Amino acid sequence: MSELLHVSSSPHIRSKATTSNIMLLVLIALLPATCFGIYLNGPYAAAIIAVSMIAAVGTEYLYEKLMHKKITVTDGSAAVTGLLLALNLPVSVPIWIPLIGSVFAILIVKQLFGGLGQNFMNPALAARCFLLISFASHMNDFSTNSWSANKIVDTVSGATPLAELKAGGTPLLTSMFAGTIKGTIGETSAAALLLGGIFLVVMKIIDLRIPLTYIGTFTVFYILFGGHGLDPYYIGAELCGGGLMLGAWFMATDYVTRPITRKGQYVYGIILGLLTGLFRIFGMSAEGVSYAIIFSNLLVPIIERCTRPSGFGINPQKGGKQA
């Protein structure tokens, strides 16, 4: 009987896609933003990216080796975490910042909770928030590194476009879309991030439910409470500025920390848009994407419980009894 009956845990729907294939496609999708960030900021940006990725992969390997667990670094998830963290860092940070951040992301947020698939929040964003709290002066310094500077950003003021916008300024929208502005290494070019997001959609790694719901909800919220109404210039500047595009296409869509139900993904996107709008418009900081995604990650179990579809033949209006 044991040879005929095979029992396995969910999910029971099988796919030819593997974790390593998915992570490889995500890395490819991040190439436009990564390459542009290096072009814009010089070789020091490449050094930050390299240190962050090596530290992430190395931390995962050492932990699994010491704990006598299966080595999983070949699945590419640690490399993606390291790259996403690096793209969320200013180019002016000292080289030990991505090192500490990657160790925190992999060891504390990922491995200590059971490894890939068990982490309760996005490791890269959790590390960024940890660094923002612990090393605020470094993480909020958007001055160009002295020995890596590419003079393409010298025409922009010292503040990021979002900070300038919040202070009543009018940053150049075309520069924000193209990416010739100050900001973190990977968030400046909305065009490069959109290109990567479209690639992920075409390759069927993600769908449009979360990104469009997130961006749409934020847009409506900004129109209602941003103080500029339907002004397309300010709406476009808010959409292109900061980490909204990076977060919407690459981190809010993380398989592990997003809801698995369709209705839940719409609810998740709405909450993301509302929180980002609240933080940006009414908060002290001009940004808010990282904390919005982290808080929404924590709500995912509740979202899934409330949006779980009823079983076949079950009528939820009758207290879960059969129809």
Concatenated DSSP letters of 7-48: --PSP----S--HHHHHHHHHHHHHHHHHHHHHHH-HHHHHH
Categorize the per-residue pLDDT at 18 as very low, low, confident or very high, splitting at 50, 70 and 90: confident
Residues in the chain, how many?
A: 323
| pTM for this prediction | 0.88
All structural domains of the chain with their residue ranges: 19-307
d(CA 275, CA 270): 9
Output the pLDDT for position 151. Answer: 47
Strands 314-315 and 321-322: antiparallel
- Structural tokens at position 74: 């070949």
pLDDT tens digit sequence for 191-207: 999 999 999 999 999 99
d(CA 247, CA 211): 9
pLDDT tens digit sequence for 222-241: 999 998 889 999 999 999 98
Q: Which of 41-45, 107-111, 145-149, 306-310 has the lowest mean pLDDT?
A: 145-149
Output the pLDDT for position 142. Answer: 82
Q: What is the mean pLDDT of residues 5-24?
A: 72
pLDDT at 8 over 80: no
User: Which position has the token pair 């931390």?
Assistant: 59
Output the pLDDT for position 144. Answer: 61
Q: Residue 299: is it exposed, middle or buried by C-beta count within 10 angstroms (0-12/13-18/19+)?
A: middle
pLDDT tens digit sequence for 241-300: 889 999 999 999 999 999 999 999 999 999 999 999 999 999 888 788 999 999 999 999
Output the pLDDT for position 157. Answer: 44
Give residues with Cβ within 8 angstroms of 42, minimum separation 6: 91, 145, 147, 148, 149, 150
For the domain 19-307, what is the CATH code?
A: 1.10.3430
Q: What is the mean pLDDT of residues 70-75?
A: 92
AA identity, residue 255:
Y
